[in-house]
Structure 1
Amino acid sequence: MKKILFTFLFALLGVAFLATEEVQAQVGNKYYYKKTTPRRGPHNHKWVWTKRRQYVSVGLNVNAMNYFGDIVPKPSFWSTDLRFTRPNIGIFVEKKFRPQFSARLGLNWGRLLSYDVETADPADSHDFFRYIRNAHFRNDIFELNTTFRWDLMSSERLNKEFYQRPKQFVPYVLGGLAVFYHAPKAKAPETKIGGGSPDWGAGEWTDLQPLGTEGQGREYINFSGDTVNLHNKYSKVQVAFPVGFGIRKKLSNRIDIAFEFSYRFLLTDYLDDVSRNYLNLGVFGDDELAKAFHDRSLEGDRYATLEEMAGNGELYSLLNRYSYTGIDGQQYNTFDGFGSDPYIDPSIRGNQKDNDVYMLTGFHLIYIIPPHGVRCPVRFK
């Protein structure tokens, strides 16, 4: 009888022990796995996600930076001039919250650049207008971004400790929110609108936003006697929405490398300081520098150059020069349609219907910080 009783008590203790171990695995968060069906071998277990598997990584990204806006080869969303590709570098910290989901906080710097006389085809019936416009810009972008990554691989294959990441390439998509600071600049014209030597540093890179080169922040009285208030100056701090995709590869227990492409969709059309229409130059009053930046089509001896190009067939057509009286009473010269009086709607300087975009393409080097040190999985203990 005692033998039967002891056997029964040992059986109860065994069941209690197994039950306790099961609870610890699921609730106590002490172990990395829980038992499934009665044990039949040393590897009869199922991996489960726990907070201990979350980890933080830091990284460096080196990118090529391009933009789509008003100073590009074609009015197509994918159009950009690769000759003006510029570097973009950044640092970031990233945390893996779930097997497929991670969040990243990053800081980037990069430069955008483009020239009408380089990107526009002067012999094309559409592009030659932009060639005559003669605009250019340079813009340094300082960006703080938060992006979220979703790995396109099953959670079972990704549900690993940091040192057990899949060896295969892991594709992913990303999206998020960014805030950036920008200040478009251009080289100061070498002549005034009416001719003569300027009283500014010709050829120096000049901040365009304070000038309001499209009349921002100004008001004037038109020929009908009505007061016209132009739109406000754009902000140098803007919002962007990163959207993209990438592919990541494990190099070692603590190092990954990734290749990534992303668009930054913007709420501004002024990365290049070009967006709206030409204005009657009298709007700018005595601000000669703003006038010179607004209409650069006849800058210096450019008309003679364009005339020669038209004669050689290099320019699709040469627009007629036009002289008009500005609302300030002064005489101005420009091309037909470039803000001249006969046009009810001034000719287009930029396309305000499409906001600008910039793109990042490059490599990310990622170092994983182990949360609890490198530990041997429980099944090998």
Structure 2
Amino acid sequence: MKFKIFISLSLVLIFLAGALDADAQRRNRYKKRRSKNKRMSSYRGGMVGAKFRPYSYLSANVNALNYFGDLAPVNKAASTDINFTRPGMGINVGHRFTPHLAVRAGFNYGRLKGDDVTSDPNAEDSRARYVRNLHFRNDIKELHMGFEIYLMPNYGGPNMRPDINIYLLVGAAVFHHEPKALVPEFDYTTGGTEPAPQAGEWVKLRKLGTEGQLINSGSVKNSAYSPIQLAIPIGVGINLRLPGPFNAGIEFGYRYLFTDYIDDVSDRYVPFYMLEDDLTRIMSDRAAEPTAAWANVERTSVQVGSTTHPDGQTYYGSPYIGGGLDEKGAIRGNRDDNDMFFMTSLRISMILGQTRSSAKFR
């Protein structure tokens, strides 16, 4: 009898334990389902609950470069002439190592251009630039590294990437530059009757020292600028998913520079007689030239000053400095603001390694 009672109680306890365990499993499944539904309701790309798989990519881009600096049409932020937009190209390699973050490194090449002929000779805020009549071109060769911060996460790796994504770019860059200008046919600083040395050639302005970088006398104490400079790339981009391992995108970038000599213009004029090299004198002050050398158009408002210098020679140049004679150094550029340039890129990228078709939620 006692044995039967023991068996009965044991069966009851086993039944209760089984019922409690079933209820606990049901509650656990409900919690998991509710948690998954909550994640799905806030889904913004990728696969909710999937394990992130890092991946690398290779991209090529076509660039459009625009310059802003001392030779911009007017002295206003982001003032540039879109007619001077110049093409470039680049290549990048990147690695997506979190759902939100990728790191990339790459090389860009492109040309910048500026010319005072684009300034309005009749406007008060640009007349002096037109009279100055300087121009330049500069080939930029840039190595950069930066982070792409994506607004939409990619939870599941390359095969789970969203159809469209927006990212922010910030990084660091080092670049090589060498501003050049076209030599006029004649030496207009001495009246325009003598042929200019290296007439019709594009010459490197940095090596001439057009603002007295190669001399150190009296009030003129400039230092030569380096062809190697640093920059901070900042930008925003949009990525579009293409079939297979490919993406396409567009990126709008800005380069914060630590130099004001992208255009070889920053500080002050140097008196002509202090520049011993004829070519340096010609390229430092071009106000006396009747044409805009690069554009090859006649200038409508040529204003010329002339002064006899201590060397006995009469020189012709900017009317604001009396033909190139100003011991204090008249303003040639704005040294308080560095140059900058903008880069717009069309990108095509390929994910390296295998990609799979997207899996369904589970």
Equivalents in 1 of 2:84, 2:324: separation in Å?
36
Structure 1 residues 102 and 340, CA, compared in 2 at 3 Å: closer, same or farther? same
| Runs (4+) off by over 6 Å | 39-42, 376-381
Q: Give runs of aligned pairs for residues 266-345 of structure 1, distance below 5 A.
A: 266-285=257-276, 287-299=277-289, 315=301, 319=303, 321-326=305-310, 328-338=311-321, 345=328
Q: Following TM superposition, by how much is the alpha carbon of 1:231 offset from its aligned partner in structure 2, in angstroms?
A: 1.5
State the partner residue of 2:156.
Answer: 160
Q: Give runs of aligned pairs for residues 46-195 of structure 1, distance below 5 A.
A: 47=49, 49-50=51-52, 53-117=53-117, 119-153=118-152, 155=153, 158-167=154-163, 169-192=164-187, 193-194=189-190, 195=192
Q: Is the 8 A contact 1:339 1:347 kept in 2?
A: no
Equivalents in 2 of 1:114, 1:249: separation in Å?
34
* CA offsets 1:102-128 (integer angstroms, 9 cap, x no match): 0110101101112211x1111212312
Which range is displaced more, 96-105 or 250-259? Answer: 250-259
Which range is displaced more, 260-269 or 248-257? Answer: 248-257
Q: Give runs of aligned pairs for residues 212-227 of structure 1, distance below 5 A.
A: 212-220=209-217, 227=218
Q: Given the two structures, how large is their TM-score scaled by the length of structure 1?
A: 0.76
Equivalent position amino acid for 2:95 in 1: K
Q: Following TM superposition, by how much is the alpha carbon of 1:171 offset from its aligned partner in structure 2, in angstroms?
A: 1.2
Equivalent position amino acid for 1:115 in 2: D
Equivalents in 2 of 1:241, 1:150: separation in Å?
16
* CA offsets 1:44-81 (integer angstroms, 9 cap, x no match): 9762555xx11000000111111101111121111111
State the partner residue of 2:193.
Answer: 196
Equivalents in 1 of 2:246, 2:67: separation in Å?
31
Equivalent position amino acid for 1:166 in 2: P
Q: Is the 8 A contact 2:285 2:318 kept in 1?
A: no
Unaligned 5+ runs, structure 1: 9-35, 221-226, 303-307
Equivalent position amino acid for 1:214 in 2: E
Equivalents in 1 of 2:75, 2:220: separation in Å?
30
Name the % identity.
Answer: 38
State the partner residue of 1:11.
Answer: none
State the partner residue of 1:365.
Answer: 348
Q: Following TM superposition, by how much is the alpha carbon of 1:377 offset from its aligned partner in structure 2, in angstroms?
A: 7.9
Q: Could you say what secondary structure the match of 1:131 adopts?
A: helix
Q: Is the 8 A contact 1:280 1:339 kept in 2?
A: no
Q: Could you say what secondary structure the match of 1:293 adopts?
A: helix
Q: Following TM superposition, by how much is the alpha carbon of 1:369 offset from its aligned partner in structure 2, in angstroms?
A: 1.0
Q: Is the 8 A contact 1:57 1:367 kept in 2?
A: yes
Q: Given the two structures, how large is their TM-score scaled by the length of structure 2?
A: 0.80
Q: Following TM superposition, by how much is the alpha carbon of 1:198 offset from its aligned partner in structure 2, in angstroms?
A: 3.2
Unaligned 5+ runs, structure 2: 1-6, 15-26, 37-47, 293-297
Structure 1 residues 379 and 364, CA, compared in 2 at 3 Å: closer, same or farther? closer
Equivalents in 1 of 2:337, 2:249: separation in Å?
31
Structure 1 residues 341 and 107, CA, compared in 2 at 3 Å: closer, same or farther? closer
State the partner residue of 1:13.
Answer: none
Q: Could you say what secondary structure the match of 1:275 adopts?
A: coil
Q: Following TM superposition, by how much is the alpha carbon of 1:379 offset from its aligned partner in structure 2, in angstroms?
A: 8.2
Equivalent position amino acid for 2:174 in 1: V
